[in-house]
Amino acid sequence: MKRVAVLGATGSIGASALDVIARHPDRYAASVLSAHGRVDELVALCARHRPQHAVIAQPQHHAALREGLAAAGLATQAHAGGEALAALAGSDACDTVIAAIVGAAGIASTLAAARAGKRLLLANKESVVLAGELLLRACRQHGAELIPIDSEHNAIFQCLRGAPADLTQVSRLILTASGGPFLNRSRGELAAVTAEQACNHPNWKMGRKISVDSATLMNKGLEVIEAHWLFGMPAARIDVLVHPQSIVHSLVEHVDGSVLAQMGRPDMRTTLACGLAWPERVASGVAAPDLGTIGALTFQAPDRTTFACLDLAYAAIKAGGSAGATLNAANEVAVAAFLAGRIGFLDIPAIIRATLDAAEDLGAADLGSLLAADASARRAATARVEARA
C-alpha cells in the first residue's frame, strides 16, 4: 500500500489525484491532505479520504481545522503553516508526494519531498522555474524519483521510458500547446479581454492562475524552462507547436528522424495515474481518445509576437542565474492583478519584461539567493501594477 500526500488537495490537480487514488483502495491511500485557507473543503475531503494528517497553510485557521475534524468525528491530526507542511512532506507519513500547490509557494514542500527521497509527482511547475537546478540536484542526491505531472513533460517522460534524455540520441523536444482561449486573435483583439474570458479554456479545466498562463502562452514558457531542467535539454533544442485538439501531449525527436508522441484525452487523471503506478499502469477513469471520431490532429507555429510571454521565458533561460525566479515572480504578481481586474491582459507581458530587464542577477547558488530574487521581483512588479492600475 502506497501512502500518498496530496499537497494542494482542494485544487484542480488535487481533485484529479484523489479521484484516481479512490479508484484503487488496494494500492493507494491518501495519508496527508493540504489546502491553503479553505478549512471546510479540506475537512470534507478528510471525511471522504480519511488521511492521517491534514494541513492548512494559513496558520490562523489551525483551530478551525482541529474543531472541524473533531466535529466530523475524524481521527485526522490537524496541522497548520508552511513548516508543518514541509515537515510532513518529508516525513514517513507518506511514500509519494503529489506537489500540486500553485505558485512559488510550493517550493519548500516540494524540496522537502525531494530531500527525503520520496516519489515526487511534480505538478507545481513554478518550483522548477524558480529553482530547477537546485531541485534536480536534491532529487539526485537523495534518490527521489521525480515524475512530471504536467501533461507535456509526462508525455516526454513516457516517450523516454522514464530514462534521462541522452543528448546524443534525442535531437529535440517538442512541447504542444493548445493555444488557449485566444488562439488566432490579434494583439488589438486582446487589449480588452476579461479574466472570465481568459479562464474559459477550450480543452482543460484548471485553476485560475494556470488558465491565465495558458491564455498568455506563459504556461508554455514556464514549461520550456521546466523541460530544460527536467530533461537537461538546451533551450535551442526545445520547440513549441500549437495543437488545438490537445490530444498529442508532446513529442520526442531522435537523431535518426524518428519521432515519438504520447496521446491521451485532456484529463490530468491519465497523467496522475501514470505517475502513481509507473512503470505499471492502472485505470484512471479516463477512456483513450477515439481518433476516428476526432478525425484530424492539426499543428501550427505559435504567434510569438502577439503572445510575447513565450519568448520572455526563452530569454530567462538564456540569462540564467536568478532570471527564472524573477520571471516566475513577476508573472505571479501580474496574473493576480489581471485576475483582480486591476490591469489589462497585455499589461502582463509588459510588466514581466520590464521586471526582467531591470532585475539584478542574484545567482542560483542557493535557495536564499533565488528567494531574494523572487521577493525583489514581486516588489518591482507590484510597483509596476500600481503604476498601471
Cis peptide before 279 (omega within 30 of 0): yes
> Residue 382 interacts with ligand NAD (CB under 6 A)?
no
Burial readout 189-206 (b: 16 or more C-beta within 10 A, e: otherwise): ebeebebeebbebebbeb
Residue 284 or 376: which CB sits closer to Mg ion?
284
Cβ atoms within 10 Å of 185's Cβ, excluding its own: 16
Concatenate the DSSP letters of all residues of 47-73 into one string: HHH--SEEEESSGGGHHHHHHHHHHTT
| Residue that is written with C-alpha cell 466530523 in the block | 72
Minimum distance between the CB of residue 271 and ligand NAD, rounded to whole angstroms? 8
Longest CA–CA span in the chain (Å) reads 63
On the 0-12 / 13-18 / 19+ scale of CB atoms within 10 A, 279 is exposed
Segment contacting ligand NAD by CB under 6 A, of 44-52, 72-80, 120-128, 296-304: 120-128
Q: How does DSSP assign 263-297, residue by residue?
A: E--S-HHHHHHHHHHTTS----S-PPP-HHHH---
Question: How buried is residue 239: exposed, middle or buried, by Cβ count under 10 Å (0-12/13-18/19+)?
Answer: middle
Binding mask 7-46 for ligand NAD (x = CB under 6 A): -xxxxxxx--------------------xx----------
Pick the binder of ligand NAD from 204, 315, 339, 363 (CB under 6 A).
204
Residue 65 φ/ψ region, left for φ over 0, alpha for ψ in the -120 to 50 degree band, beta for the rest: alpha
* Least spacing, CB of residue 230 vs ligand NAD, in Å: 13
Footprint on residues 285-314 left by Mg ion (CB under 5 A): none
Looking at beta carbons only, is 61 or 66 nearer to ligand NAD? Answer: 61
Applying CB under 6 A, which part among 96-104, 276-284, 302-310, 366-374 lies near ligand NAD? 96-104
In the complex, the smallest distance separating the C-beta of residue 323 from Mg ion, rounded to whole angstroms, is: 21
From the list 14, 32, 80, 150, which residue makes contact with Mg ion (rule: CB under 5 A)? 150
β-sheet bridge partners, residue 300: 242
Closest contact distance (angstroms) between CB of 332 and ligand NAD is 10
The distance of closest approach from Cβ of residue 8 to ligand NAD in the complex, given in angstroms and rounded to an integer, is 3
- The size of the interface with ligand NAD (CB under 6 A), counted in residues, is 24
Among 32, 144, 215, 268, binds ligand NAD (CB under 6 A): 268
CB of 306 to ligand NAD, least distance (A): 22
Output the smallest distance, CB 41 to ligand NAD, in A: 8
Residues of this chain that interact with Mg ion (CB under 5 A) are 150-152
